[in-house]
Amino acid sequence: MSKQNRKKFLDIILGAGATAWFASILYPISKYLIPPDIADANVTSIEVGPEIEFKRGSSKIVRFGRKPVIIIRRKNGDLKAFAATCTHLDCNVQFKNETEQIWCACHNGFYDLEGKNISGPPPRPLAKYIVRVARGIIVISSEDMA
Amino acid sequence: MSLYNWLNERIALESMTKFAKKKQVPVFYGTVWYYLGGVSLFLFIIQVVTGILLILYYQPGATTAFESVKFIVSKVEFGWLMREVHSWSANLFILFIFLHMFTVYFAKAYRKPRELTWYSGIFLLALAMFFGFSGYLLPWNELAFFATKVGSDIAGAIPVVGDFLLRLLRAGDEVSGATLTRFYGIHVAILPAVFTVLLGIHLALVQSQGMSVPPEQEHLAEDKRKYMPFFPNFALRDLLFWLIILNVIALLAVFFPWELGTKADPLASAPAGIRPEWYFMFMFQTLKLIPAHVLFIEGELFGILMFAMGGIIWFLVPVLDKKANQNIRSKLWKWIGIMLVIYIIVMTVWGYMV
């Protein structure tokens, strides 16, 4: 092996060694930074509370597994439930009783009471949940379970 | 033997004082701009000092953060002062970095050989804004909670790496106590370490290359150009400026305190009138105005791509503005700068009006 080839060979070995060394440090760090997946409690339905305590023209946000869900009681008594996080940038939405619309204060996005995005920046409708009343208790369940 | 001599024999003080005495500051209409970088440095020092003091009482965590800040401002002696100074100084810090950046920009100080100073400066600005973003969450109040949701969701919308970034920032899928702990670590350990190193490089570059003057000044004959010694003439003026700033902060802290607000509740609706820190306002307002879909992409992504592109162009201005290296002022880049300033001001004011 000529002197030059030997030098090249050593350069490659050294370079590869240094790269492997860096990788062996960076890999565990980058893995460490991402938190482990916590198994979702696989919630398919939750009880919200007695129907009589839920006033007409009001709303509340409840936890559905790890996700917030907004449940709305319209003036006419109808119950509706949607994912409470705006499809634009993830803020929690609120129910506007006067106009019977769902509003996101962060960037002024509006949805109708079918969850459809009707004005402002939201790109998609809100995910719907199924609401039913069983023996006077409001129960919401995710749509894919129905 | 005097202390000076004792030290001088060991660490060559003489060469440092010689350097300081030799250093000249150009005197012209723009000399006042030179103070802006120094003020930014001073504000960073205030942040480090008050930040360390706040750490002594602050307790990160979803159940303790808000309560501990409340404790600091209501029970700890002068706790209110530390928090107010930290908040006000943080805001002025960003403001002065912006002013510093724009004066540097319009004076064309980014041209050869000072490209690296510009690049490091832009990185410092980005870090300062990240400082602000991460610090904003720490009191764990409603405004901060939703601002963090929005801010991290924006990071999540970036193509390819978005998901990774979102989980990296939030320490999970949602903004939670884990996010708070993570932001605390970023705010008090990671950012200060990176910022200090980068600031060291930035300052070393300024020292080794000396003050930049605008092209017209450079065209002047040497005998027409005026200077003042850095030490003590300029250094004392610097100090006076710092003193004024410190007094302004004290006044602001006393007469315009930042409210703590209400504690964050992940199940509350985002309140009306929610807004980010003022230095994100122009971006916030722009995102509000972009419709749900632009061409075939979602408005959110469109906005992010536009800002990313603008940021890259701004960063690369020493490469793109070819005339600056020949000491010529290009009209195009002047107008880009002016339009950017107008855009930021208009959008910010508009954001506060609605």
3-state secondary structure of A1: coil
Q: Give the model confidence (pLDDT) of A92-142 as tens digits.
A: 999 998 999 999 988 889 999 999 999 888 989 999 999 999 888 999 998
The domain that holds A131 is classified in CATH as 2.102.10.10
Number of structural domains found in chain A: 2
Query: Looking at this protein, which amino acid is placed at residue B82?
Result: M
How many alpha carbons lie under 13 Å from residue A110 in its C-beta half-sphere?
9
Is A117's CB within 8 Å of B292's CB?
yes
Average pLDDT over chain A reads 88
Domain of residue A6, residue span = 1-36
Is A122's CB within 8 Å of B292's CB?
yes
Residues A22 and A63 both lie in one domain: no
Contact A94, B146 (CB under 8 A): no
Shortest distance, CA B293 to any CA of chain A (angstroms):
7
Residue B126 has pLDDT above 70, yes or no: yes
- Pull the structure tokens for residue B136: 């904003």
Residues A15 and A73 both lie in one domain: no
Residues A61 and A102 both lie in one domain: yes
Residues A6 and A72 both lie in one domain: no
Show residues of chain B in contact with A105, CB under 8 Å.
Answer: 269-274
DSSP B111: S
A101 touches chain B (CB under 8 A): no
A116 touches chain B (CB under 8 A): no
Shortest distance, CA A106 to any CA of chain B (angstroms):
6
Residues A89 and A65 both lie in one domain: yes
Residues A85 and A106 both lie in one domain: yes
Q: Give the model confidence (pLDDT) of B168-202 as tens digits.
A: 999 988 899 999 999 999 999 999 999 999 999 99
Looking up tokens 């990774």, which residue turns up?
Answer: B164
Tell me which CATH homologous superfamily contains domain B27-270.
Cytochrome Bc1 Complex; Chain C (1.20.810.10)
Q: Cβ neighbours of residue B234 under 8 Å, at least 6 residues apart?
A: B25, B34, B228
Residues A23 and A58 both lie in one domain: no
Q: Cβ neighbours of residue B164 under 8 Å, at least 6 residues apart?
A: A34
Show residues of chain A in contact with B62, CB under 8 Å.
Answer: none
Residues A18 and A53 both lie in one domain: no
pLDDT of B347 reads 95
pLDDT of A144 reads 62
Q: Does the model's ipTM exceed the 0.95 cut?
A: no
3-state secondary structure of B262: coil
H/E stretch holding A82:
strand A79-83
H/E stretch holding B229:
strand B226-229
Is B168's CB within 8 Å of A120's CB?
no
Helix, strand, coil share of chain B (percent; to 5): 70, 5, 25
pLDDT of A35 reads 81
Percent of chain B clearing pLDDT 70 (strictly above): 100
pLDDT of B241 reads 94
Residues A96 and A55 both lie in one domain: yes
Residues A126 and A63 both lie in one domain: yes
Q: What is the C-alpha separation between B297 and B276, in angstroms, rounded?
A: 25
Nearest CA in chain B to A32: B168
Residues A11 and A55 both lie in one domain: no
Nearest to B178 among A35, A108, A120 (CB): A35
Residues A98 and A60 both lie in one domain: yes
DSSP one-letter string for B148-172:
HHHHHHHHHTSTTTHHHHHHHHHTS
Q: Give the model confidence (pLDDT) of B259-309 as tens digits.
A: 899 999 988 888 887 788 899 999 988 988 888 788 888 888 888 899 999
Q: What is the C-alpha separation between B228 and B32, in angstroms, rounded?
A: 13
From the centroid of its chain, how far is CA B86?
14
Q: Cβ neighbours of residue A81 under 8 Å, at least 6 residues apart?
A: A69, A70, A71, A72, A128, A129, A130, A131, A140
